[in-house]
Structure formats: C-alpha cells, structure tokens
Structure 1
C-alpha cells in the first residue's frame, strides 16, 4: 500500500462499520448466491429453444453479466473476501473462466474508508495509553481490503510515521470467508469444482493468514531493510516496534510518486533506465540470492523518490512485505537453470531444465518443446543479444539494451501461451512458478510503462 502524499481519501465514501461478523457476511453472500442462482435458472430456461450457436453467444453475454455482478457485490465487503477475489484474479486464470478472471480483476483496494471514530477505537484497543504519544491524521492516505493507512507524528521526537491499521475482525473472518466464497462459486455454477480449485483455496488460506500477521511482516520488512540499507537505489521503511502489534504496523513515512506518474515519463532516458534496472534487479535478487519474494505485482507496492539533482540517485521505495513467499532450494535450482538457458537462448538446455515437478515430468516431447519455446520467449529480456537470433530487431538499441516499450512482450507471451496450452491436456503449473511468473509480468509491465531499457549482461551474468 502506497504511503505517499495523496489525500484523495477526502473524496471517498466513508463507512461507519464493516460487516465483519460471520452472520452479516453470510447474509450478504447468501443474497448474492441466491440472486445468481435465480438468474442462472432463468437464463437456462429461456435459452432452451435456441440453436447451439445462439445459445453459446447468449451464455457468453450472460456469463459476463454474472461475473461483473459477482465482483460488484464482493467489492462491497472489505476484508479477505475482496482479497480472495483479487488473488484468484491474479493466479486463477487456469482454473476460472476468462469472464470471471476479468471481472475479479476489477476488484479494487481503493474503496470506501472506515470512518475515523471506528479506526480510533481500534487504535485505542491496540495501543492503549501509547496512543496519546502519537498525533494521528484522521484522514487516511491509503485503503486496502485488509487495512487502512494513516500518517502520524511521534509527539516526543517529531518522527513522521505511518500506521497500517488492520480492519477489526478481518483476520478472524478468513476461514469463514473462504468457505463462503467457495459456496458462492458452487451455488452460482460459475466455476467447476475441482481438486485444483480446492488446492488453490488452501494456498490462498495460507497466504491470507500470513498477510494478516503484522509481526511476521515487520520481521520481513526488517530483513529487507538490512539487506538494502547500503544500496542507494532502494528505500525500505524502518519499522517502529514501539507502536507495532500483531494487527498494527508502524513504520517510517517514506514519500514518493506513483510508478505510473506522468512525472516519471519526463525524466531523461538514462534515469528511467536506472530505475527500471533497479526494479528488475531486486526481483532477481529475491529469487536467486535471498530465496524469498514479495509476490504481489501491484504497482501500489512501489513508489519512486525522484532525486532533486541529476547528480543524485533516484530511489525505488519498496512497500508492503506482507505477501512474501519463500522458495526451497529445489525450486531455486530449477529457476536458476531456466534463467541460464534463457540467457544463452538454448532450446535444448531449456528442455533439460524443465524437471522436478509432475507438471514437467509428465509432458510428452512435443509439449516439452512447445513449453520450452514459451520459456525462451519469456526470458527474452534476459538473453544475450548475440546468442538470441529470434530477438526482434526493434527490441534492441545501439548499445544492445532491451527496449521494453517496443517489445510487446506481454502480448506475444499471451499469444504463445494460448497456443501452447491448446496443444495438450493442460495440467495446472506449480503454484510457485505461477507466483514467480506473475511477479515477472508485473515487472515487465512496469518497465514497459516506464519506457526503460535494460542490459541483460548486467542483470543476469552475476547470477550465472
């Protein structure tokens, strides 16, 4: 969640209470389930006498309408219901119909704020008399599905901090919200109930319980702070333990501008290149050096602090270490071999690196070859331009740097992935690979928006 200087929350609708009780949330979702069930039945009856082509077209439109209704109703409930929808939108594209995925992608953290009296009451319960040591701005600078962010001043020292205040009751509602969400999908007939879906819900349950544990997030933030304290390109907020609890996180206020801000586009190319290089390098470090990654690709988890003078360094502000994922040595070895094969643009090496999971080990040779080609395309920005004869000419500048804005890589990947998935009976990829791939896609999008150019030798060679 971005702790920038925006005070746009003044214009948001404020709500006095959250529906955090099991009864209220069950009632809301039961009503949604009932309405979807009625509409589904009505659509089935009215389409009985249409021919197959007309029925398919009608069902397509109906599915779009139902999906948007589902997302709209879920968006009214803060807490883990919204987060579950967002996670399924990010990671569930191989489980859910595309209409559902598109609709769930509209679920937005930036929704109504919880009124200050309720937040103040919550802070008083969390901090007791320590609350008197803080001067808290009642207007939030950020909202999300699980928490709200307020600026504050430590009165004794003048230190500027932000308080990430978890909404009351959301942690206790995770298990029931998951059950309700699964029930909603089942009643609505929108999604087939499969073991893959069950496995993903279990994964989401673990992620959510980890994300609402602010003591764990504080420890993770401190690890990243220590790792990057001597690198002038990055800023990690400093945790203030005095005012932090399991449901409240206090950290230094770190201003910056959004990564999609027009102001970034006005920076000289070389400065944008440096920001882009830093953004992609931190991700490679997470995988290949530290073995843990912040898996949420949301742009709101990053800010840029633009240097006042060209002689200074523009800094990438890293926020929100709640959605952290740790990887074992087996996965890291496989990922390292995939990256090496991508750098040398070696199809045979890429096929050999694809092992260690049933997803890979049960593929036929034809399928393995197709997926290896897909991986070679995905690693195009990290390949040696001399070795990669398939690199489009307009993707490299005169210094052999990758031109992200020209690459159209996301579109090419989507097209190639669609072809590859159609060529065999698709098995769900390992969850770990889906986390990593989504993070990479988020970084790819950032570098494309930034219109940056990166050097694959500087990025990859240190890790080979």
Structure 2
C-alpha cells in the first residue's frame, strides 16, 4: 500500500465505522442481490420478442449496467468484500464475463478514510499504554480496503515510523464476506457456478487470511530486508516489533514518489533503465532464488527514492509483503524450463518444458503447440536476439537492449492468447501460473510506463 510522500490524503471524506457486522453487510448485499435479480427477470421478460442479434446486443448492454451497479454497491462496503472483488478482477478473467471483470477493476482502495477517533480507539485497544510513546498524525497517508496508514514518531528516539492499522472487524468478516459474494454472483445469475469458481474462492480465502495476518507479514518483510540490505538499489522498510501486533504493523517510514509520478519521467534515460532493470531483476530473484513472490501486481506496492545527486543510485522502495506466495520445487523446475526455452527461443524445448500439471498434460498436440508459441512471445524480453528472429526491429536498441515502450507486448499477448484459447478444450491454468503471469504483466506495464530498456543477458544468464 504505497503512499506518495508528496501529497497528504486529507481531502478524502472520513467515515466513523465500517459495515463489518454480519447483519449490516448481509442487509447491504441482500439488497444488491435483490435489485440485480429483479432487473434480470425484467430484462428476460421484456427481451422475449426481440430477434437474436437485438437480444444479444441488449443482454450485453444490460450485463454492463448490472456489473457497474454491482461494483458501485460493493465499493461502499470497504473491507474484504472490496478485496475479493479486486482479486477476482485480477485473476478471474478465465471464469468471469468480461463485463464483470471490467467493472470489478474499478473497485478502488483509495476511498473514504476511517475517522481518527475510531482509528485511535483501535490503536488504544491494540497498544494499551504504549500508544503514549508515539506521536501519531491523525491524517492517514494511505488507505486501502483492509487498512490505513498513519505516520508517527517514537517520542524517545525521534524515529519516524508508519503504522498500518487494520480496520476493526475485517479479519473476522472474511469468511462471511466470501459466502455473501458467492451468493451475490449466484442470485444475480451473472456468473455460471462452476468448480473452477469454487476453487478460486478457496484460493482467495487463503490469500485474504494470510494478508490480514500482520505477524506473518512482519516476518516476510524481515526476510526480504535481510536479503536486500546490502543491495543499494532496494529499500525494504525495517519492522519495529515494539509496536507491531497481529492487526497492526509498525515499520520505518520510507519516503519516495509513486511510479506514475511525472518527476520520474523527467529522469535521464540511463537512470530510468536502471530502475526498470532493478524492478524486473527482483522478480526473477523472487521466482528463481527465493521461491516466494509478492503476487500483487499493483503499482502501489512500489515507490522510488530519487537520488539528489546524478551519480548516486535511485532506489526502489518495496512495500507491502502481505500477498506473498511460496512456490514449490516442482513449479520452479517447470518455470526454469520455460525460461530456458524462452531464452533460446526454442519451440520444441518450450513444448517439452510444459508438463507436470493437468493443464499441460491434458492438451492435444495442436493446443500444446499454440500455447508454447504464446509462451515464446511472453518470454520475448528474456530471449537472446541472436536466436530470436521474431523480435520486432523497433523493440531493440543498438546494444540489443529490449525497448519496452515500443513492444506493445501486452496487446500482442492478449490477441494471441484469445486465439489460442479458442482452440481449447479449456481448463483453468494452475493458480501458481496465474499469479506469476499477473505479476509479469504488472512488471511489463511498469517498464513500459518508465520507457526502460533492459539487458536480456543480465536478466536471464544467472538462472540458466
């Protein structure tokens, strides 16, 4: 959860409490379900006399309206309902209609803040007398669906910290929120109820329970801090255990600018290349060295500490280690094979590397070949130009570095993916692959926004 240190959040309106009680949330969601169900029935009846094309067009427009209504109502609730919607938007494109995915993508963390008296009461409950050891700014510097962040000073030492305060009741509401969300999708008829949907809800349940456990997040943050403390390109906040609890995280205040900030675009190209290279190198380390990855592709999980001095290193501030995912050796071996095949741009090797999951093993040769071609395109930035004649000329500079902004890689992948999917006796990709692919898409977008050029050898050679 990033906080652009250049601007405070005082303009947002604040609310005194969240609808976290089961009854309030059930009422709110029941009302939404009822309205959607009623509209759905009305649409079906009034469309009976239209021809097929008119009915299809009308149903699509209706679905769009329903989806937007759903997103608006969910957005009012904050807490895990919003997070569930966001997760389905990120990972649900294979199981949800596109209208729903698009609408859920509008669910925004950056909504109303919880009023200071409510947050202060929560902090009193969590910290007891220790709260008197801190001077806390009542205006939050960041808000999200599950928590908000306040700056503070440790009075005795002058240490600048941030407190990530979980909203009261959200952790206890996760299971009922998931049940309500599924019920809402069921009643509204928006989504076919399938085993795949059930499996995804189970996955989201695990992720959410992990994400509200700040003791686990503190331990993960400390692991990453130790791994990266000697690499001058990265900053990981230092956890302050004195003021951290299961529902409260205290860590060092790490200023920076957001990755979409205009001042970042004004840096020299060389400096932007270095930031881009650092952003993608850390992702490679997460997969191939540490076997655990921060799976949330949101830009808000990074800040950039721009150096005052042209010759010093600009640093990537890594925030929010809640959505962490561990990968086993089985997956890592497969990922390694896919990367190697991509580096050499070898279609046969890519097909051989695609194994070990039902998703791969149940494919016909034709589909396997199509998906291997898709993976070859996805690994284009990691491939050796000497063995990959398919890289468009405008995507390489004179030093064979990959030019992300020219690549249009995301749209090329999307159109190739939709063609590959049509040839499919389709079953859902393994969840781990969905997490990794989403993280890559996030990184691809970041590098495109930065207009960074990256060196394929530096990225891949250490892992071959």
TM (norm. structure 1) is 1.00
1:250 aligns with 2:250: yes
What pairs with 1:424-435 in structure 2 (closer than 5 Å)? 424-435=424-435
| 1:179-231 alpha-carbon deviations (Å, 9 max, x no partner) | 00000000000000000000000000000000000000000000000000000
Q: Distance in 2 between the 1:106 and 1:91 partners? A: 14
CA distance in 1, matches of 2:192, 2:4: 41
1:206 aligns with 2:206: yes
The answer for the alignment partner of 1:400 in structure 2 is 400
Contact 1:293 1:324 in 2 (8 A): yes
Q: Deviations over 1:372-408 (max 9, x none)?
A: 0000000000000111011100000000000000000
SS in 1 for 2:124: helix
Superposed, 1:443-462 pairs within 5 Å as 443-462=443-462
Deviation of 1:8 (Å): 3.9
Partner residue in 2 for 1:121: 121
CA distance in 2, matches of 1:248, 1:230: 27
Q: Show the counterpart of 1:104.
A: 104
Structure 1 runs, 4 residues or longer, greater than 6 Å off: none
Count of residues paired in the alignment:
464
Aligned to 2:414: 414
Shift of 1:4: 3.5
Does the CA-based 8 Å contact 1:403-1:452 persist in structure 2?
yes
CA contact (8 A) 1:3 1:162 kept: no
Deviations 1:100-151 (A, max 9, x none): 0000000000000000000000000000000000000000000000000000
Would the aligned equivalents of 1:8 and 1:141 in 2 still touch at CA under 8 Å?
yes
> Which residue of structure 2 lines up, in the alignment, with residue 168 of structure 1?
168
Conserved in 2, the CA contact under 8 Å of 1:161 and 1:253?
A: yes
1:421, 1:124 → 2: CA distance? 53
Paired position in structure 1 for 2:131 = 131
User: Equivalents in 1 of 2:7, 2:359: separation in Å?
Assistant: 47
CA deviation after TM superposition for structure 1 residue 362, in Å? 0.4
SS state at 2:304 partner: strand
- 5+ residue gaps in structure 1? none
**Greater alpha carbon shift after TM alignment, 201-210 vs 6-15:** 6-15
2:188 aligns with 188
- Contact 1:88–1:104 at 8 Å: present in 2 too? yes
Contact 2:81 2:177 in 1 (8 A): yes
Q: How does 1:176-325 map to 2 (within 5 A)?
A: 176-325=176-325
CA distance in 2, matches of 1:310, 1:136: 35
What's the C-alpha RMSD, in Å, of the aligned pairs?
0.6
SS of the counterpart of 2:385? coil
Please list, as runs of the form range in 1=range in 2, the aligned pairs for 1:314-353 lying within 5 A after superposition.
314-353=314-353
Match of 2:41 in 1: 41
Aligned equivalents of 1:392, 1:78: Cα separation in 2: 44
Aligned mates of 1:18, 1:365 — CA distance in 2 = 52
Alpha-carbon deviation of 1:13?
Answer: 1.3
Deviation at residue 6 of structure 1 after TM alignment: 4.3
How far, CA to CA, are the matches of 2:87 and 2:13 in structure 1? 25
Shift of residue 426 of structure 1?
1.2
Give the SS at the match of 2:172. coil
CA contact (8 A) 1:6 1:141 kept: no
CA distance, structure 2, for counterparts of residue 7 and residue 405 of structure 1: 28
Deviation at 1:7, TM superposition (A): 4.1
Task: Give yes or no for contact 1:3–1:254 (8 Å, CA) kept in 2.
Answer: no
In the TM superposition, residue 321 of structure 1 has moved relative to its aligned partner by: 0.0
Q: Distance in 1 between matches of 2:39 and 2:12?
A: 32
1:411 to partner: Cα distance: 0.4
